[in-house]
């Protein structure tokens, strides 16, 4: 892909529906991630977001017909097992309910 050489090319690229959809999905992800961080423990949120690696690999195999080595599948399996361990544990902090006076 050629680099963008002028402001007009940049505007043309940013107006592409696929790029706009990608930016919208990124904004939705960031908002939901920040919301999760305000309500849950960081030790729970970070491992759960690593599920994205699993989803991306499954999408690559399904839609892009990529070959994935056994080593990478074992890596994905270890991510799933790690997320399972973290999700099954109790929360490390207790939330204090805020009351208005």
Residue at 72 is within a domain: yes
Res 48 pLDDT > 80: no
pLDDT reported for residue 91: 66
What is the spatial distance between Cα 35 and Cα 52, in angstroms, rounded to a whole number? 17
pLDDT reported for residue 62: 93
> 100 is written with which tokens?
């208005």
Residues 44, 88: contact at Cβ < 8 Å? no
Place of tokens 């908002």: 31
Residue at 84 is within a domain: yes
Q: 3-class secondary structure for 59-83?
A: HHHHHCCCCCCHHHHHHHHHHHHHH
What is the spatial distance between Cα 95 and Cα 38, in angstroms, rounded to a whole number? 11
Give residue-wise pLDDT tens across range 5-32: 788 888 888 888 999 999 999 999 999 9
Q: Say yes or no: 26 and 51 in one domain.
A: no
Give residue-wise pLDDT tens across range 52-86: 888 889 999 999 899 999 999 998 888 888 877 87
Q: Say yes or no: 35 and 45 in one domain.
A: no
* Domain housing 65: 41-90
Q: Say yes or no: 16 and 46 in one domain.
A: no
Mean pLDDT of the chain: 82
Q: Say yes or no: 6 and 33 in one domain.
A: yes
Report the number of distinct structural domains present in the chain.
Answer: 2
What is the spatial distance between Cα 61 and Cα 64, in angstroms, rounded to a whole number? 6
Kindly report the pTM of this predicted structure: 0.59
Q: Say yes or no: 33 and 70 in one domain.
A: no
């Amino acid at each position: 892909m050629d680099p963008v050489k002028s402001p007009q090319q940049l505007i043309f690229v940013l107006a592409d529906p696929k790029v706009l959809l990608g930016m919208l999905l990124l904004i939705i992800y960031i908002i939901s991630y920040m919301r999760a961080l305000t309500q849950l423990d960081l030790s729970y949120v970070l491992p759960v977001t690593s599920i994205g690696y699993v989803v991306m690999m499954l999408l690559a195999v399904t839609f892009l017909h990529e070959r994935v080595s056994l080593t990478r599948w074992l890596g994905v399996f270890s991510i799933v097992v790690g997320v399972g361990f973290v999700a099954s544990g109790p929360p490390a902090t207790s939330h204090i309910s805020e009351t208005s006076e």
